[in-house]
Amino acid sequence: MFKNVIVRVPSKTISEGLTSADEGKPIYEKALVQHENYVSALTKTGVNVTVLGPEDDFPDSCFVEDVALCTSKCAIITRPGALSRRKEAALPDMLEALQKFYDTIEYIEDPGTIEAGDIMMVGDHFYIGLSARTNEEGAKQMIAILEKHGLSGQMVEMKEMLHLKTGLAYLENNNLLVAGEFKTAPEFKDFNKIEVEISEAYGANCIWMNGYVIVPEGYPNVQQKIEALGYKVLVVDTSEYRKIDGGLSCLSLRF
């Protein structure tokens, strides 16, 4: 069960965020409303939400998931692969927020790069995608830290997706949403795979929260498949974040 969540309010500079999508620039006012609705949905799942203020110097800083991995034993500050995001991992208010919940905080060091959007937690085991943002050295450091704390990790080769969790979402109870290249990845053969069509690939980025699954708005087939498994579904519009390669999981740290 998750007890706590950390989010960061989007900044007025959000329209300058990194993107590979060809969907125009996000509109700040709309992004703000969508963020408020996202926090409201999280609150419905029974967690305590810590809201950090906007950081105008960092257009992507609302995507807090990438800068830290929150485990049951420790928090690990990452070293983002995107140069423009590297200093986000050292923002004092994030460190302060994590220190309220964790006695132990570990760090990924140069030359390792890793963004936690590439890390999927399944119990005490962590799948780490090797992407344009996460290199082998970063993954090795992360696995060493996890093992030091009695947890485990493994690397997953990737070719297509921006982040591992762009195309995967673990919904607990061995249920795994899979899209694109991960449908046939051998690492996930033993899961009950719920396949997401290419037309709804963005909808693969959902989050399980204490028996609820938060699903992005506009992906009815994904929503239907999740409801058919018996989960309570909360739908949140993240269309402004999609414009800068962001989804539901990117917007929060959950632990």
Distance CA 117, CA 231 (A): 23
163 in active site: yes
Instruction: Give the active site residue among 62, 70, 74, 163.
Output: 163
125 in active site: no
Distance CA 145, CA 128 (A): 13
Instruction: Give the active site residue among 62, 70, 74, 250.
Output: 250
Q: Who's near 40: CB < 8 A, 6+ residues apart? A: none
213 closest CA partner among 195, 229, 201: 229
Instruction: Give all strands (DSSP E) within 80-217, no chain letters.
Output: 105-107, 119-122, 125-130, 152-157, 168-170, 175-179, 192-196, 207-209, 212-216
Pairing of β 253-254 and β 4-8? antiparallel
Compute how many other C-beta atoms are within 10 angstroms of the C-beta atom of residue 23.
12
The residues carrying an active-site annotation are 163, 250
